[in-house]
Amino acid sequence: MNTEAYLIITIISAIIFIGTAIFLICYLIYLRKTIYSDFVLQHSISLKKLNELNQHYIFYPKKNFDQSYTYDNENFFNSISCKDYLIYQLKYIKHNLFEQINKINYNNLLYSEYSEALQSILHFGHFDAPVHKLKSIKLLEIEHKLIEKNIYSPCTHFYLRVTLYCSNIHGQVYLRKSDIFSASEIVFLNNKLKDMNGDFYNDREIWDALCRVERGKVSNKMRFLIYKRDGYKCRKCGVSDKYAPLEIDHIIPISKGGKSTYDNLQTLCHKCNVEKGTTIHKY
């Protein structure tokens, strides 16, 4: 056998030896950790008390009520704020938002009671069996980790995020804005929504926000479909888009509670639209 072959065999042997050594060291570390973890799991007084305490506390899980909407019209995206959008959602789509706010408030109260109870039961390093040769620092470290893992951390503060996007005609988002609202802000806005005098809101800001969002429901795509449906002509005077700029009109105006739905939209030229004003008229 030549020296080159010897060299290769030596290198391979060295690699196998080092590999085995690394494997053994890892295995020993794992074994040691398991022994320590098992001891803590079986004999930590704090951990046992924590598990007992946990059985008495049931927190509500966090539910996501975040809202988002994509505008294909930059003007609407710019004129409608996240708050406007939230007000609209509060009026028309309530979900179980207020039920969730109550649940999170309940979590908050319960959690302060739980935290207080934790203070009185957690005394690290107390075991109901002799420690023998186990290192107490290592035991404490593992006990800390296990207790941390087992302490409940429920959702105690409600907030809702509203995100608005603006997309181009290909559907690619190129603008984005986002805002976070707390439970108290949501309750405040909802109370303003309830503050009505007949059909009128006592808070002008609320009404304006609702109108802005309703108007913004006429997407560019919808606009195109209405023009197409109406033959690219004013439904009143019949002028075509070649001779006069066409506009989308709400048959029942938004200011009178009209919605941005296909049935409530019609094509008018600018002149006829101005003449119609806020009257209710289907041509």
Residues that bind Zn ion (CB under 5 A): 234, 236-237, 269, 272
d(CA 134, CA 188): 58
Q: How far is the CB of 257 from Zn ion (least distance, A)?
A: 25
Q: Which of residues 9 and 237 has its CB atom nearest to Zn ion in the complex?
A: 237
d(CA 157, CA 276): 49
Q: How far is the CB of 229 from Zn ion (least distance, A)?
A: 16
Are 174 and 182 in contact, with CB atoms under 8 Å apart? Answer: no
Q: Which of residues 7 and 237 has its CB atom nearest to Zn ion in the complex?
A: 237
DSSP single-letter state for residue 244: S
Q: How far is the CB of 227 from Zn ion (least distance, A)?
A: 13
Q: How far is the CB of 235 from Zn ion (least distance, A)?
A: 8
- Maximum alpha-carbon separation in the chain: 106
Rounded to the nearest angstrom, the gap between the alpha carbon of residue 227 and the centroid of all alpha carbons in its chain is 36
Are 276 and 249 in contact, with CB atoms under 8 Å apart? Answer: yes
The token duo for 35 is 């022994």
Q: Which of residues 192 and 250 has its CB atom nearest to Zn ion in the complex?
A: 250
Q: Which of residues 53 and 272 has its CB atom nearest to Zn ion in the complex?
A: 272
Among residues 69, 85, 74, the alpha carbon closest in space to that of 209 is found at 85
Are 94 and 16 in contact, with CB atoms under 8 Å apart? Answer: no
Q: Which of residues 143 and 249 has its CB atom nearest to Zn ion in the complex?
A: 249
Are 43 and 146 in contact, with CB atoms under 8 Å apart? Answer: no
Q: How far is the CB of 247 from Zn ion (least distance, A)?
A: 9
Q: Which of residues 24 and 237 has its CB atom nearest to Zn ion in the complex?
A: 237
d(CA 167, CA 164): 10
Q: How far is the CB of 251 from Zn ion (least distance, A)?
A: 15
